[in-house]
Structures are given as structure tokens and as C-alpha cells.
């Protein structure tokens, strides 16, 4: 007999799901992501050095879409 363990406690997970709300700026976040997708599909990203995109990618994806903040920005 195999015993499995869950990664999350059901009570905590259910509470998080019950209290979840989408951010007010969800459409803006989607637009940012869509611009990256369109640029990728157009082949533009293959023509540009990764290091020149890094700053924009980190800002757009991690700050603007996912909401991460640096220590400096609070």
C-alpha cells in the first residue's frame, strides 16, 4: 500500500481559493503579456540580444504582471 502526502493542507488551500480575487488591472497585465507573445511570434526576439531585453522582461513580467516589488520600491 502506497501512502501519499499532499503538498498543501486542504484547509489552507480552500481558504486561499475562497478568498481569491482577480486584480483590478488584470486586462492591463494581459495586454503586457500579449505584447511579449506577439513579439515572440513575429520573430523579433530572435534578432535581439538577450541582455538587451532582460531589464524590460524583468520589469514587465515580474513587476507589472506578477506584482513583485524590490526592496527599493517597497
Residue 17: its pLDDT value, please?
Answer: 95
pLDDT in tens, the chain (74 residues): 778 888 889 999 999 999 999 999 999 999 999 999 999 999 999 999 999 999 999 999 999 999 998 788 76
Beta carbons of 6 and 34 less than 8 angstroms apart: no
CA distance 72 to 16: 28
| Residue 55: predicted pLDDT | 93
DSSP state of 7: S
d(CA 56, CA 62): 10
Distance of CA 26 to the CA centre of its chain: 11
Can you tell me the distance from the alpha carbon of 18 to that of 12, in angstroms, rounded to the nearest whole number?
A: 10
pLDDT at residue 74 in the model: 63
Domain boundaries, the chain: 24-74
Amino acid at each position: 500500500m502506497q501512502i501519499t502526502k499532499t503538498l498543501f493542507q486542504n484547509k489552507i488551500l480552500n481558504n486561499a481559493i475562497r478568498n481569491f480575487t482577480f486584480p483590478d488591472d488584470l486586462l492591463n497585465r494581459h495586454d503586457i503579456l500579449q505584447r511579449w507573445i506577439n513579439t515572440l511570434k513575429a520573430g523579433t526576439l530572435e534578432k535581439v540580444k538577450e541582455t538587451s531585453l532582460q531589464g524590460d522582461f524583468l520589469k514587465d513580467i515580474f513587476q507589472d504582471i506578477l506584482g513583485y516589488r524590490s526592496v527599493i520600491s517597497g
